[in-house]
Chain A
Amino acid sequence: MANESKSAVDFAAIKADLGSNFKPVQILDNDGNVVDKDLMANFSDEELVDFMKKLVWERALHEQTMNFSRQGRLGFYAPTYGEEASEMGTVSAFNENDFLLPAYRDLPQLIQHGATVTEGYLWSRGHVLGNQFKARALMPQIIIGAQMVETAGVALGLKKNGEDAVAFSYTGDGGTSQGDTYEGMNFAGAFQAPAVFIIQNNGFAISVPRNRQTAATTLAQKAVAAGIPSVQVDGMDILACYQVAKEARAFAVAGNGPVMIETITYRFGAHSSAGDDPSRYRTKEEEKPWFEHDPLIRMRKYLTDKGLWSQEEEDKYVDECKTSFKDAIKEADAVEPEKVSDMLKRTFEVPTPDIAKQIAEFEEKESK
């Protein structure tokens, strides 16, 4: 009979415990019930109505943008249907001096942060004027993860400048598998730089479900590897998203280093306007319960019960929004097409000799 040896480590127990510290923060539940009265006390009636309007604005932006897209009036567009609370809640917590590094699905945050809808549409179509916004931000980042390492740098720059500002960035659940996401969080942590990394976990990276990305039971726990605090939040609850992001910002700007937030949300529609069809990889039954989490439903119910909101007001506001979006696309239509000579002129501050030659060649062609 073999001696029963004492084991040094209980890996099974460690594994079972890995995600146990993370429970999503929630203020309003699906039915519009307040689950945390103390946190709810932070919001005035006026602010609550403003959050509702932001949700409605983003939903209307999505619907109108999809229409324009189907009509061939827009280029690349990544639908945001379902993610309104996660996006509007978090972005509202930042100041205009804060530096936003969005991913490709984060056009609504960029617009909330100071870009115009017209610029958003020009970005979608592929025109340089879409990137020449006044907002302190980069354009939506197409390379998944690149915004995360850059966020660490922006945050360190703000810290060195002694600014009362943070860098904040977004990526999706798939983006947490990228090396740059880890490097970005780890660098920001090593330099104790004021950054807020927001992971919008909508369950899918195109067709690949969240549980194929990692064995980690939460994405929030990935911040542990960088030694930075993180939190999960109900990404369908705009109040919880706002409150958590506001506290994250305050923590970071006070010199405590970066924070990571995982918002748990759902992409109601396709990955992008470029032919993705979710029925290829997920069933209606899977999707159905998520529609009950619709961030607009709970806010609408809560505010209607309090007499602060009505369907009539909502319809009127949707019309106002859609009119403004139609005006924006007309403005985008009026923009002059780009010229090759201008493209060459923005390659370097001082054109190199070969670029100078090409500028002259194209200017001649363009003058004909």
Chain B
Amino acid sequence: MTKKSYIQAITDGLDIALGEDPKTLIFGEDVGKNGGVFRTTQGLQDKYGEDRVFDTPLAESGILGLSIGLGLTGWRPIPEIQFMGFTFEAIDSVAGQMARTRFRFGNDKNLPITIRTPFGGGTHTAEMHADNLENFFTGIPGLRVVTPSNPYDAKGMVISAIENNDPVLFMENLKLYRSMKDDIPDDKYTVPLDTAKVVREGTDITLVAYSAEVNESLKVADKLAKEDISVEVVDLRSLSPIDTDTIFESIKKTHKVVVVQEAQKMAGVGATVASAIAENAIMSLDAPIGRVAAPNSVYPFAQAENVWIPGADEIEAKAREILDY
């Protein structure tokens, strides 16, 4: 066990994947000698060589097109898109191409690609750096979308994503990169890609969240515990597919639920969760499904993040509203 940040946990996972499978390749903008703009690939080029870890020209569509071609010729690509906002440049490579490959070729061809990309607010980045774009990607059949909320999951999930034989979008939260450290095993371990996790058990209300909002939800759970309100927190971890069974199990116990996301409310992961509950588990509920999400505006300019990103206060207010219903 070693204390590692979220970012170090990812680097550790990448190192293990590169060491285990000579077909794995890491590439993207500044991921080589520079070690990535966040140092996520620090030291990997020195250790594995320029053939395995290399820089590319500055073109996202080219990077993901390159991934597709490498995947079709027997390689296991781990491309990086420097910021999730830049995936707009490469939507076709993801939605129009790689996610469809297995389907198109009737299982004759597949693409074992893991796209790593940072996202998430709270660090005052420039425009198009922090946008929560999972709303787009979770609507793409054939693509898995996952996002860890802590260093342990970050390492185990990045290894699972790389070992998976289908494309995975691996979203890394910028705010979590260096804000937390956990003791994590030094050896290889995996965390399944399509299961949610109950990160705190409770009996009065369920908070369903993912990524940085898991920590905000845990803060609320701590606070309400002082009033003897028992909050269960479910970390989705996978946004596509969504592990609805874990959510249904939880609300059978608590009968109340609030779904939390940092992204805008429109057409989001929270809407998918809420509709799944409404369709399949409405009889477990004693109150409406609460939702906490960002306003339906464009992602805010840096100085306005504090009034825009939903945090513990908003979650607490919504939880109290649902508890008092």
Interfacial residues, chain A to chain B (CB-CB below 8 A): 99, 128-129, 131-132, 138-139, 143, 146, 148-158, 160-161, 167, 179-180, 183-184, 186-187, 190, 343, 345-349, 352-355
What distance in Å separates the Cβ of B283 from its nearest Cβ neighbour in chain A?
A: 19
Q: Which residue of B lies closest to A165 (CB)?
A: B73
Between-chain CB contacts (< 8 Å), 30 pairs? A128-B106, A131-B105, A131-B106, A132-B105, A143-B96, A143-B97, A148-B65, A149-B61, A149-B68, A149-B93, A153-B68, A154-B69, A157-B69, A157-B73, A158-B73, A179-B61, A180-B92, A183-B57, A183-B62, A183-B65, A186-B57, A187-B66, A347-B141, A347-B142, A349-B107, A349-B164, A349-B166, A353-B244, A354-B241, A355-B241
Measured in the bound complex, the distance between the Cα atoms of B61 and A343 in whole Å is: 27
Measured in the bound complex, the distance between the Cα atoms of B93 and A346 in whole Å is: 19
Tell whether A187 pairs with B56 under 8 Å between CB atoms, given A146-B65, A152-B66: yes
B104 and A186: CB pair below 8 A?
Answer: no
> In the assembled complex, which residues on chain B have CB atoms less than 8 Å from the CB atom of A148?
65
Measured in the bound complex, the distance between the Cα atoms of B318 and A255 in whole Å is: 63
Contact with A along B218-252 (1 / 0, CB 8 A): 00000000000000000000000111110000000
Tell whether A348 pairs with B57 under 8 Å between CB atoms, given A146-B96, A157-B75: no
B72 within 8 A of A: yes
Q: Which 8 A-B pairs have the closest CB atoms?
A: A153-B69, A149-B65, A157-B73, A154-B69, A183-B62, A352-B241, A153-B66, A128-B106
Specify which of A131, A150, A151, A345 lies most central, judged by the most chain B CB atoms within 10 Å of its CB. Answer: A150
What distance in Å separates the Cβ of A361 from its nearest Cβ neighbour in chain B?
A: 13
Other than the given A152-B65, A153-B72, A347-B142, 15 more pairs (CB < 8 A) read A146-B92, A153-B65, A153-B68, A153-B69, A153-B71, A154-B72, A156-B70, A157-B72, A160-B51, A161-B73, A187-B62, A348-B166, A349-B102, A349-B166, A353-B194
Q: Which residue of B lies closest to A154 (CB)?
A: B69
A139 and B68: CB pair below 8 A?
Answer: no
B194 and A131: CB pair below 8 A?
Answer: no
Q: Which residue of A lies closest to B77 (CB)?
A: A153
Interface size class of B (residues with CB under 8 A): 35 or more
Measured in the bound complex, the distance between the Cα atoms of B69 and A167 in whole Å is: 9
What distance in Å separates the Cβ of A332 from its nearest Cβ neighbour in chain B?
A: 16
Tell whether A151 pairs with B69 under 8 Å between CB atoms, given A187-B59, A349-B102, A349-B165: yes
Measured in the bound complex, the distance between the Cα atoms of B73 and A167 in whole Å is: 10
What distance in Å separates the Cβ of B227 from its nearest Cβ neighbour in chain A?
A: 36
Measured in the bound complex, the distance between the Cα atoms of B66 and A180 in whole Å is: 11
B104 and A131: CB pair below 8 A?
Answer: yes
Measured in the bound complex, the distance between the Cα atoms of B72 and A148 in whole Å is: 14
Measured in the bound complex, the distance between the Cα atoms of B69 and A155 in whole Å is: 7
B103 within 8 A of A: yes
Tell whether A186 pairs with B59 under 8 Å between CB atoms, given A146-B93, A348-B166: yes
B87 within 8 A of A: no
A160 and B75: CB pair below 8 A?
Answer: yes
Tell whether A346 pairs with B245 under 8 Å between CB atoms, given A150-B69, A167-B69, A183-B65: no
Q: Which residue of B lies closest to A148 (CB)?
A: B65
What distance in Å separates the Cβ of B89 from its nearest Cβ neighbour in chain A?
A: 8
Measured in the bound complex, the distance between the Cα atoms of B107 and A41 in whole Å is: 46
> In the assembled complex, which residues on chain B have CB atoms less than 8 Å from the CB atom of A184?
62, 65
B73 and A150: CB pair below 8 A?
Answer: no
B67 within 8 A of A: yes
B110 and A349: CB pair below 8 A?
Answer: yes
Q: Which residue of A lies closest to B100 (CB)?
A: A347
A353 and B241: CB pair below 8 A?
Answer: yes
B67 and A153: CB pair below 8 A?
Answer: yes
B324 within 8 A of A: no
> In the assembled complex, which residues on chain A have CB atoms less than 8 Å from the CB atom of B64?
149
What distance in Å separates the Cβ of A345 from its nearest Cβ neighbour in chain B?
A: 8
> In the assembled complex, which residues on chain B have CB atoms less than 8 Å from the CB atom of A355?
241
Measured in the bound complex, the distance between the Cα atoms of B213 and A289 in whole Å is: 68
What distance in Å separates the Cβ of A360 from its nearest Cβ neighbour in chain B?
A: 15
B74 within 8 A of A: yes
B57 and A190: CB pair below 8 A?
Answer: yes
> In the assembled complex, which residues on chain B have CB atoms less than 8 Å from the CB atom of A160?
51, 70, 73, 75
What distance in Å separates the Cβ of B21 from its nearest Cβ neighbour in chain A?
A: 14
> In the assembled complex, which residues on chain A have CB atoms less than 8 Å from the CB atom of B75?
157, 160
What distance in Å separates the Cβ of B88 from its nearest Cβ neighbour in chain A?
A: 12
> In the assembled complex, which residues on chain A have CB atoms less than 8 Å from the CB atom of B20?
none
Tell whether A146 pairs with B62 under 8 Å between CB atoms, given A132-B105, A156-B69, A167-B69: no
B187 within 8 A of A: no
What distance in Å separates the Cβ of B18 from its nearest Cβ neighbour in chain A?
A: 15
Specify which of A143, A151, A153, A184 lies most central, judged by the most chain B CB atoms within 10 Å of its CB. Answer: A153
Q: Which residue of A lies closest to B64 (CB)?
A: A149
> In the assembled complex, which residues on chain A have CB atoms less than 8 Å from the CB atom of B141?
347
B102 and A347: CB pair below 8 A?
Answer: yes
> In the assembled complex, which residues on chain A have CB atoms less than 8 Å from the CB atom of B242?
354
Q: Which residue of B lies closest to A159 (CB)?
A: B73
A150 and B57: CB pair below 8 A?
Answer: no
Measured in the bound complex, the distance between the Cα atoms of B103 and A346 in whole Å is: 5
Specify which of A131, A146, A346 lies most central, judged by the most chain B CB atoms within 10 Å of its CB. Answer: A346
B102 and A353: CB pair below 8 A?
Answer: no
> In the assembled complex, which residues on chain A have CB atoms less than 8 Å from the CB atom of B110?
349
B92, B108, B194: the one contacting A352 at CB < 8 Å is B194
What distance in Å separates the Cβ of B262 from its nearest Cβ neighbour in chain A?
A: 23
What distance in Å separates the Cβ of B23 from its nearest Cβ neighbour in chain A?
A: 9
Measured in the bound complex, the distance between the Cα atoms of B58 and A186 in whole Å is: 10
> In the assembled complex, which residues on chain A have CB atoms less than 8 Å from the CB atom of B194?
352-353
